[in-house]
Amino acid sequence: MHHFDWSGIPGALPTLWTGAVVTFKITILAIVVGIVWGTVLAIMRLSSFKPFEWFAKIYVTLFRSIPLVMVLLWFFLIVPQLLQNVLGLSADIDIRLASAMVAFSLFEAAYYSEIIRAGIQAVPRGQVNASYALGMSYAQAMRLVVLPQAFRAMVPLLLTQAIVLFQDTSLVYVISLADFFRTATNIGDRDGTNVEMVLFAGACYFVVCVVASSLVKSLQKKVAR
């Protein structure tokens, strides 16, 4: 029978919070970039211009067919110098954090793209035709009429994907980035309390996800009304 020792957790909270900040940074950036780039991909996928359509289709298919952990390793092991040159990163920037942010952003964009594409297609075609009748261009109709309606209906799905993204951030463990989960396990290794720290980390993920899920359910009810 394992003897649980929770006495070290209060003293570890400041260090755990530092790891949590890394987790939230990755999550928030990936959500923002993923939704923006995913919207562009969705519009390209629905475009009548074939090169745009095929690029978006290949991009989405590629990232949705490869495990996230493999994408993380690609960006960390294969293209770190490319990331530094393209993004103009200084030598002081932790390439592991930059790799994780880019990998999550590009990976999540493929999933957000499909959600957004479905939302756009759910808007009645008559809305677009009415916009044209008012003298709007395609870009204006999309920006002022279609996307606002589509995003209103998609909010619950976008938030659900954000919850999945938050859970997936623990995979940065494989590139030794000190996120919340990695920090918890490092403390457990140091103090000999691996079981306690892993259970505590799991409980924290559980609480955050349950609260976020409750928010999603309430939004679904509002959207339904």
CA distance 34 to 14: 30
Three-class SS of residue 176?
coil
pLDDT of residue 60: 94
State pLDDT tens for residues 197-207: 999 999 999 99
How confident is the prediction for the chain on average, in pLDDT? 86
pLDDT of residue 32: 94
Percent of the chain with pLDDT over 90: 43
pTM, whole model, 2 decimals? 0.87
Over 80: is that where the pLDDT of 196 sits?
A: yes
Higher pLDDT, 70 or 88: 70
The answer to whether the beta carbons of residues 161 and 209 sit under 8 Å apart is no
State pLDDT tens for residues 19-51: 999 999 999 999 999 999 999 999 999 888 889
The answer to whether the beta carbons of residues 161 and 112 sit under 8 Å apart is yes
- Domains of the chain with bracketed CATH: 10-224 (1.10.3720.10)
The answer to whether the beta carbons of residues 38 and 111 sit under 8 Å apart is yes
